Amino acid sequence: MAPLWYTASSALLLSVTAAAWPYSTYKSIDFQPPTLQINQTGPTDPGFIFLGPRGGVQPAGQAALIYDNAGNLVYEGPEEVTSNFMVQKLNGSDVITFWAGDMMDIGYGYGTVHILDSTYQEIHTVTLTGNFVTPDNSTKTSYIDLHESNITPNNTLLVTAYNVTQHDLTSIGGTSSEWMLDSHFYEIDIATNEIVNSWSALDHEDDIPLTSSHQKLGGTAGTQENPYDAYHINAITPTNNGHLVSLRHMWSGYYLSENGSVMWQVSGENGADFTQVGNANFSWQHDIRVWNETDEGMILTLFNNANTPTDNESPTTGVSLAIDLVNKTVTGLRSLSDNNDPIHSVSQGSYQVLNEQDGHVFMDYGSISKVKEFDGAGNVVFSGKFGTDNAVASYRGYRFPWSAVPFWKPSLNVTRTSTGATVYMSWNGATDYDTWAVYSASSANSTNNQQIATGKRTGFETAINVTNLTTDYIQVAALQGNNVLGTSDITSF
């Protein structure tokens, strides 16, 4: 079991150490995304890989990114720090969502949630305002934290927020007026940006006492500039009767009623309100989710970090637990790890159930720049690496099916050769085209252009050599079969 304390200044390593990642470059567009190194050893579930890498001195490519199973870039968003990049359902349609903003050194952030349709048009921008206190008393445009942005079946958005609060910490050896982080969540109506529900951990201190925190008060923690983080909220899941909240520093999930009161607690240390059956331990967890909930029980899945920045105790695992509400037991069902590549993830991470029928699970290792897919037997069938461990991070990572036709045009660059030219072309974010057509144009405004070459799509960028050119103008089109999905501007060379 990991120790009961570690330094607040390194709580989550969300500000990763300065490092550059191996990156790819292209002729047709000015991108430098991390190179995703792939090792596939078995069949995977369908879908693309969604990441939000960041890495110190390498700002280029620090964005919401989609890759295919071969490690080819599919989409790069604006260059900004992102989190929770994923596909969700809104009003019955697939959308992509991500948080973007500023990450603080001790593991939380201030930002905005962006919701894009299948053309990458931003259809909603969700913000949170209010009477929040920040470490430096600065005012933020939006106070949404990076940890959660979960669309509910009611088309609302569940988000986390951290408020710097002056509080009595004498119960844990502090003074009566020190500063701490209160963990909040908010439910926001996406269409109107209005708050429809909110919750504060400090409002329930009787049920969630500060003395239960594994993040002990010490060092310089307790000032407004460096507030003590007793709770560290990092996941909220809607349930049949309210919500289930993950508090990392309590090593616990709390099942809340609709009015926010604590109905029960499951602890990775001792079970809390449940008797542990088998190996049901976890610590410093992320991404608790609820599955197959009934009045008698449910399944919980989570990313079990089991480590801190000051202690590499045991390999990080992906865990599923059976909660029996009748007999008050918590039973360990699965514990996923790669015996050939034991990972100690000190912060962040996610556990995604891809398919309940075949048992496939996709895991992002947070502070360790790796993703893995496990099959139903617990075998690793896919691994990806995108940077240096503990220097490049992605808060969560996912696999999702996704179909998109961008609202922008394909990009191209033409380079002269001794026999003609090489045409480099790409269409950032497009998922469904399979062929490129190259046209010779008579002028910059020509509409009656002549097709001079075709070629199969090859990864993110395709290059086609053309010869015997009679003009200096080129245009390209992306096709699915014989159907034109997008056409570039005409360029001269």
In terms of domains, do 334 and 417 share one? no
In terms of domains, do 119 and 240 share one? yes
The tally of domains found in the chain comes to 2
More confident residue, 400 or 20: 400
In terms of domains, do 248 and 344 share one? yes
- Give dist(CA 489, CA 12) in Å, integer: 45
Q: Half-sphere exposure of residue 424, counting CA atoms within 13 Å on the CB side?
A: 14
Q: Is 1 a member of any domain?
A: no
- Cβ-contact 333, 291 below 8 angstroms: no
Is 244 in a helix, a strand, or coil?
Answer: strand
Kindly give, in sequence order, each residue whose CB lies less than 8 Å from that of residue 358, ignoring residues fewer than 6 positions away: 45, 375, 376
- Give dist(CA 236, CA 287) in Å, integer: 8
Is 87 in a helix, a strand, or coil?
Answer: strand
Q: What is the number of other CB atoms lying within 10 angstroms of the CB of residue 70?
A: 9
More confident residue, 105 or 293: 293
User: 292 — alpha (psi -120 to 50), left (phi > 0) or beta?
Assistant: left
Domain boundary among 400, 424, 443: 400
In terms of domains, do 369 and 250 share one? yes
448 pLDDT more than 90: no
Q: Pull the structure tokens for residue 196.
A: 């429809």
17 pLDDT more than 70: no
Question: What confidence category does residue 16 fall into, taking pLDDT thresholds of 50, 70 and 90?
Answer: very low
In terms of domains, do 422 and 393 share one? no
Q: What is the number of other CB atoms lying within 10 angstroms of the CB of residue 102?
A: 12
Question: What confidence category does residue 12 fall into, taking pLDDT thresholds of 50, 70 and 90?
Answer: very low
CATH number for position 104 = 2.120.10.30
Q: Is 405 a member of any domain?
A: no
249-290: pLDDT as tens digits: 999 999 999 999 999 999 999 999 999 999 999 999 999 999
Domain boundary among 400, 435, 459: 400
pLDDT, the chain, mean: 94
100 pLDDT more than 70: yes
pLDDT at 57: 65
Question: What confidence category does residue 313 fall into, taking pLDDT thresholds of 50, 70 and 90?
Answer: confident
What average pLDDT does the segment 91-119 reach? 96
Q: Distance between terminal CA atoms of the chain?
A: 64
- Give dist(CA 205, CA 182) in Å, integer: 11
In terms of domains, do 367 and 285 share one? yes
Q: Is 406 a member of any domain?
A: no
pLDDT at 19: 54
Q: Is 38 a member of any domain?
A: yes
Is 248 in a helix, a strand, or coil?
Answer: helix
96 pLDDT more than 60: yes
Determine the structural domain holding residue 383 and report its residue range.
8-400
- Give dist(CA 171, CA 143) in Å, integer: 29
In terms of domains, do 275 and 422 share one? no
More confident residue, 374 or 311: 374
- Give dist(CA 331, CA 323) in Å, integer: 7
In terms of domains, do 309 and 444 share one? no
Q: Pull the structure tokens for residue 214.
A: 């594994």
Q: Pull the structure tokens for residue 205.
A: 């201190």
In terms of domains, do 363 and 426 share one? no
334-387: pLDDT as tens digits: 999 999 999 999 999 999 999 999 999 999 999 999 999 999 999 999 999 999
More confident residue, 404 or 17: 404
pLDDT at 10: 36
- Give dist(CA 182, CA 313) in Å, integer: 28
Is 421 in a helix, a strand, or coil?
Answer: strand
108 pLDDT more than 60: yes
Q: Is 22 a member of any domain?
A: yes
- Stated as kind and residue range, the H or E segment containing 109 is strand 109-116
In terms of domains, do 459 and 359 share one? no
- Cβ-contact 354, 372 below 8 angstroms: no
pLDDT at 59: 74
Is 302 in a helix, a strand, or coil?
Answer: strand
Q: Is 3 a member of any domain?
A: no
1 pLDDT more than 50: no
Q: Is 281 a member of any domain?
A: yes
pLDDT at 468: 85
- Cβ-contact 188, 159 below 8 angstroms: yes
Is 250 in a helix, a strand, or coil?
Answer: helix
121 pLDDT more than 70: yes
Domain boundary among 400, 421, 447: 400
In terms of domains, do 101 and 246 share one? yes
pLDDT at 56: 64
168-197: pLDDT as tens digits: 999 999 999 999 999 999 999 999 999 999
- Give dist(CA 371, CA 351) in Å, integer: 10
Statement: the pTM of the whole predicted model exceeds 0.85? yes
401-440: pLDDT as tens digits: 999 999 999 999 999 999 999 999 999 999 999 999 999 9
- Give dist(CA 107, CA 360) in Å, integer: 30
In terms of domains, do 371 and 284 share one? yes
Q: Give me the phi and psi of 215, to 5 degrees please.
A: -95, 95
CATH number for position 442 = 2.60.40
- Give dist(CA 436, CA 451) in Å, integer: 11
